[in-house]
Amino acid sequence: MFFFYRILINLVFILSPIIVIIRLFQKKEDPSRFREKLGFFSKKKTKGNLIWFHGASVGEILSVVPLIEKLEKNNKIKQILVTSNTLSSSKILSKLKLKKTIHQFFPIDTNYNAHKFLEYWDPSIAIFIDSEIWPNMLTNIKKKSISLMLINARITEKSFKKWKFFSSSAKTIFQNFDMCISSSLASKNYLRLLGAKKISYFGNLKFTQSKQTTNELGKNLNKFFLTKKIWCASSTHGIEEKICANTHKKLKVKYKNLLTIIIPRHIHRVKKILQDIKEMNLKIHLHGSKKKIDKKTDIYLVNTFGQTQSFFKISKTVFLGGSIIKHGGQNPLEAAKYGCQILHGPNIWNFKEIYNLLKANGASHKVITPNQLTLKVNKILNNKSNSKKLQLKIKNLSSKILNSTLNEINFYIKKK
């Protein structure tokens, strides 16, 4: 496997100038920073202990912000490096008030780039998040005897089957980790079967939350929202926006001040969504628009990254997309932290364990048909909220998860 992987990743590196140009046109790369992915550096290393976190995108990076905030108070740590693959994650991190923390894009995983990266940054400990497995980088980390952790590790049934096909290589890769902290009991079992040496499970890190990651919406918007009965549809895909808009259309007969907030998973689809909803004769307002918001607005369409939590904060119920279509669902923890009642379709296999936990606490509900969605939204809008009780439960759980994970990280920091 390693032989073919190295051929493939080197081909990607050779073709990277073409790939980067295409992504620049798509506005998926930063023109001033794309060279970081090719093995160059735009920031300087501070002398002393450097802790390195790597996560793929927004969700992974946000999940470790509470850890980073705690580690910034540790005098032994002089600098914290965070790497990721996406432009959106770098933008969100840049908005946070972190004194010791810097961001760089993760380099293409060639053996040369991995060696060069580690020589330059020389981290005391490398902490990978979720399912970020880069064979060349992991191999080079162990060659340099750097402590290596995988936290909030997520191995799905689908990815486990793929790894088992290359069982010998998988064992070699997963044995590189000094410690794996799984995000679920299922992932813990899969990690054990794949050859990981030391595995712990405390819960999902996405239960934790930094106060910094909630953006305020502004006085005028908040004033408008206070006059409305609100529900939210988040991380929607394909037909899901039209289904939610149709639910709004049915319920607005009963609730004259009803507002449906739609946050699509991919904001490049906004034009298509605008067109579809206008064809349904519903009044729609685009977030960030300079136009004055109409009091009779039906649908509030969000077209920015990083403000999802702000909308969850004002919503009584949230439908999470990628679950009516066969996508596997989206992570419900962010909505649960705000005490929202969570609705989802039948296709949630990527987050089954989390949904089971929320269901046991009366916080999540499955809907199979569009009509069931309408009935459930109506029922929740009618009922009294138990959000404070749910928020307290999650706050206590998140504190335990955060402190347990931090203790493990501190153990490897002290070893240095």
Report the chain's mean pLDDT, rounded to a whole number. Answer: 93
The CA-based angle 330-334-340, given to 5 degrees, is 100
Q: Which CATH code for domain 33-211+399-414?
A: 3.40.50.11720
CB 211 within 8 A of CB 219: no
What is the distance between the alpha carbons of residues 216 and 225, in angstroms, rounded to a whole number? 13
pLDDT value of position 215 = 64
pLDDT value of position 213 = 64
pLDDT value of position 211 = 66
Tell me how far CA of residue 133 lies from CA of 206, 302, 366, in angstroms: 19, 32, 32
Q: Provide the 10 A C-beta neighbour count for residue 121.
A: 18
Q: Indicate if the pLDDT at residue 111 is higher than 90.
A: yes
Q: Which residue has the higher pLDDT, 391 or 316?
A: 316
DSSP of 58-114: HHHHHHHHHHHHHHTT-TTEEEEEEEES-HHHHHHHHTS--SSEEEEEPPP--HHHH
Q: Indicate if the pLDDT at residue 346 is higher than 80.
A: yes
Choice among 78-82, 239-243, 331-335, 370-374 with the minimum mean pLDDT:
331-335
Q: What is the pLDDT of residues 117-127, one digit of tens each?
A: 999 999 999 99
CB 12 within 8 A of CB 108: yes
Q: What is the pLDDT of residues 136-175, one digit of tens each?
A: 999 999 999 999 999 999 998 889 999 999 999 999 999 9
What is the distance between the alpha carbons of residues 356 and 365, in angstroms, rounded to a whole number? 10
CB 408 within 8 A of CB 149: yes
CB 253 within 8 A of CB 289: no
Q: What is the pLDDT of residues 6-37, one digit of tens each?
A: 999 999 999 999 998 999 998 889 999 999 99
What is the distance between the alpha carbons of residues 126 and 51, in angstroms, rounded to a whole number? 7
Q: Indicate if the pLDDT at residue 309 is higher than 90.
A: no
pLDDT value of position 392 = 83
pLDDT value of position 90 = 93
The reply to whether 33-211+399-414 and 217-385 are identical in fold is yes
Choice among 34-38, 155-159, 250-254, 341-345 with the minimum mean pLDDT:
155-159
Residue pointed to by tokens 């809008």 = 381
Q: Indicate if the pLDDT at residue 278 is higher than 70.
A: yes
pLDDT value of position 55 = 97
What is the distance between the alpha carbons of residues 336 and 252, in angstroms, rounded to a whole number? 25
- Tell me which residue of 272, 221, 283, 274 sits closest to 249, measured CA to CA: 283
Choice among 64-73, 215-224, 326-335, 395-404 with the minimum mean pLDDT:
215-224
Choice among 176-180, 223-227, 282-286 with the minimum mean pLDDT:
223-227
Could you state, in order of their start, the residue ranges of all structural domains in the chain? 33-211+399-414, 217-385
Q: Indicate if the pLDDT at residue 400 is higher than 90.
A: yes
pLDDT level of residue 220 (50, 70, 90 thresholds): confident
Long-range contact set of residues 377-386: C-beta below 8 Å, sequence gap at least 24? 377/231, 377/247, 377/251, 377/317, 377/319, 377/343, 378/251, 378/254, 380/231, 380/316, 380/317, 380/341, 381/229, 381/231, 381/251, 381/255, 381/258, 381/316, 381/317, 385/316, 385/339, 385/341, 386/339, 386/362
pLDDT level of residue 328 (50, 70, 90 thresholds): very high
Residue 261 main-chain phi, psi, to 5 deg: -95, 125
Q: Indicate if the pLDDT at residue 50 is higher than 90.
A: yes
Q: Indicate if the pLDDT at residue 361 is higher than 70.
A: yes
pLDDT value of position 404 = 97
Percentage, residues of the chain above pLDDT 90: 76
Q: Indicate if the pLDDT at residue 416 is higher than 70.
A: no
Q: Indicate if the pLDDT at residue 208 is higher than 70.
A: yes
CATH class of 217-385: alpha beta
pTM metric for this prediction: 0.82
The CA-based angle 198-189-363, given to 5 degrees, is 115
Percentage, residues of the chain above pLDDT 70: 97
pLDDT value of position 384 = 75
Choice among 78-82, 168-172, 349-353 with the minimum mean pLDDT:
349-353
CB 413 within 8 A of CB 74: yes
DSSP of 260-286: EEEEESSGGGHHHHHHHHHTTT--EEE
What is the distance between the alpha carbons of residues 136 and 184, in angstroms, rounded to a whole number? 26
pLDDT value of position 397 = 87
Nearest 10 degrees: Cα torsion 83, 88, 92, 95: 100
